[in-house]
């Protein structure tokens, strides 16, 4: 809160330039990448998704998209709007897609592959094993959505060979929404520079945005950044580093398992099988005969606790519970379990 309340300076003030540089470096450490092109896009996570598409997917590109939840569906839609030839690899909502299925879909060639590392609609974590190698064999890019996994689920972008990724500030970073952490490696930037057509969005054109964010070459005005949101993100990233990234991953894993076990005592079983769970988000099946919307409504109005319902084919069948940031702790989980226990009785 205090970071948001710092005095608002000009977006071209050298003092703010120092804030930008520190924020970008902290993002590199959190993404586990050396990518120079690492910055918070001035938009929510959905804006980060659009920035990924408009910069690295050109009309006619063949793109393999893993679809096992709402956010895979959204990306397939965004790719089609960009004029790409989308090759969908559909999977069951609530299960990870076997990497070999994605690799098999690349056999006929591709320009990019996209997967959702942390599928917010199902609580599933997607393995990245072998995907980067398959993409590099075909001179293609590996693109990743890590909105709900960044800083809460083990993820090392450089080790996984990810070429570009985006996230959001309001999940495990515990920062207000409004910025989209974004990173792109040299292979992705090379493709952007080699494009014959310009990205269809002026605002999200990374070649222009980097002219503002890359302080090594001076800062060219592109847009007025949300100054105080960058202050807040910098402070949130400092907190991540103070805790330690590995320690933060482990805390989210412990909190997830503790809540899973407690809710199982109430008859609420996790949707994702062992080994495919997304620690920052626990999706549980609603028992037969329970009016899930009524329970959620009473939970909010009587206990001031909000959880989410299912989406798409899982609507009315699951509850989605955040286990992220300060929510990955004993006290908020105790309150939730006690309240749900009362309501389910």
* Confidence at 62, pLDDT banded by 50, 70, 90: very high
pLDDT, mean of residues 303-320: 97
Find the farthest-apart pair of alpha carbons in the chain and give their distance in angstroms, rounded. Answer: 63
Give me the DSSP letters along 174-215.
---SS-EEEEE-HHHHHHHHH-SSPPS-STT-HHHHHHHH-G
C-beta separation of 171 from 147 below 8 A: yes
Q: What is the pLDDT of residues 240-252, one digit of tens each?
A: 999 999 999 999 9
pLDDT, residue 218, reads 78
Cα–Cα distance, 4 to 145 (Å, whole number): 26
Helix (H) or strand (E) holding 111: none
Q: What is the pLDDT of residues 92-122, one digit of tens each?
A: 999 999 999 999 999 999 999 999 999 999 9
* Confidence at 192, pLDDT banded by 50, 70, 90: very high
Closest among 7, 30, 45, 281 to 167, alpha carbons compared: 45
DSSP-derived pairing of the beta strands 164-166 and 180-184: antiparallel
pLDDT, residue 214, reads 87
pLDDT, mean of residues 278-302: 97
Closest among 252, 120, 256 to 173, alpha carbons compared: 252
Q: What is the pLDDT of residues 244-277, one digit of tens each?
A: 999 999 999 999 999 999 999 999 999 999 999 9
pLDDT, residue 1, reads 75
Closest among 283, 306, 311 to 295, alpha carbons compared: 306
Instruction: Extract the tokens encoding 185.
Output: 């490696």
Residue 129 has pLDDT above 90, yes or no: yes
Give Cβ neighbours of residue 274 (< 8 Å, ≥ 6 apart).
none
Cα–Cα distance, 191 to 195 (Å, whole number): 6
Instruction: Extract the tokens encoding 209.
Output: 């945005």
- Taking the CA atoms of residue 241, residue 246, residue 249 and residue 251 in that order, the dihedral angle to the nearest 10 degrees is -90
Residue 91 has pLDDT above 80, yes or no: yes
Q: How many CB atoms lie within 10 A of CB 132?
A: 20
* Confidence at 135, pLDDT banded by 50, 70, 90: very high
């Amino acid at each position: 809160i205090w970071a948001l309340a710092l005095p608002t300076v000009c977006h071209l003030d050298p003092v703010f330039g120092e804030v930008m540089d520190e924020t970008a470096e902290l993002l590199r450490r959190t993404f586990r990448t050396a990518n120079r092109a690492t910055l918070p896009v001035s938009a929510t996570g959905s804006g980060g998704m659009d920035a990924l598409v408009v910069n690295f997917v050109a009309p006619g590109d063949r793109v393999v998209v893993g679809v096992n939840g709402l956010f895979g569906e959204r990306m397939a839609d965004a790719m089609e709007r960009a004029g790409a030839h989308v090759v969908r690899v559909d999977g069951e909502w609530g299960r990870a897609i076997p990497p070999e299925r994605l690799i098999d879909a690349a056999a006929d060639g591709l320009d990019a592959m996209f997967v959702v590392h942390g599928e917010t609609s199902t609580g599933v974590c997607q393995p990245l094993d072998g995907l980067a190698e398959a993409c590099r064999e075909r001179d293609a890019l590996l693109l990743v959505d890590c909105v709900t996994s960044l800083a809460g689920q083990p993820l090392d972008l450089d080790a996984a060979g990810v070429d570009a990724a985006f996230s959001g500030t309001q999940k495990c970073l515990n920062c207000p929404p409004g910025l989209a952490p974004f990173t792109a490696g040299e292979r992705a930037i090379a493709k952007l520079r080699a494009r014959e057509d310009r990205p269809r969005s002026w605002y999200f054109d990374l070649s222009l945005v980097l002219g503002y964010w890359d302080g090594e070459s001076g800062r060219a005005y592109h847009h007025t950044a949300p100054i105080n949101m960058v202050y807040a993100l910098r402070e949130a990233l400092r907190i991540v580093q103070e805790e330690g990234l590995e320690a933060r991953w482990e805390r989210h894993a412990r909190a997830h398992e503790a809540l899973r076990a407690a809710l199982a005592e109430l008859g609420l079983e996790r949707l994702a099988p062992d080994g495919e769970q997304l620690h920052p988000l626990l999706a549980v099946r609603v028992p037969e005969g329970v009016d899930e919307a009524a329970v959620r409504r009473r939970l909010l109005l009587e206990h001031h606790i909000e959880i989410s319902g299912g989406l798409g084919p899982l609507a009315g069948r699951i509850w989605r519970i955040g286990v992220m940031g300060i929510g990955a702790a004993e006290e908020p989980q105790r309150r939730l379990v006690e309240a749900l226990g009362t309501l389910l009785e």
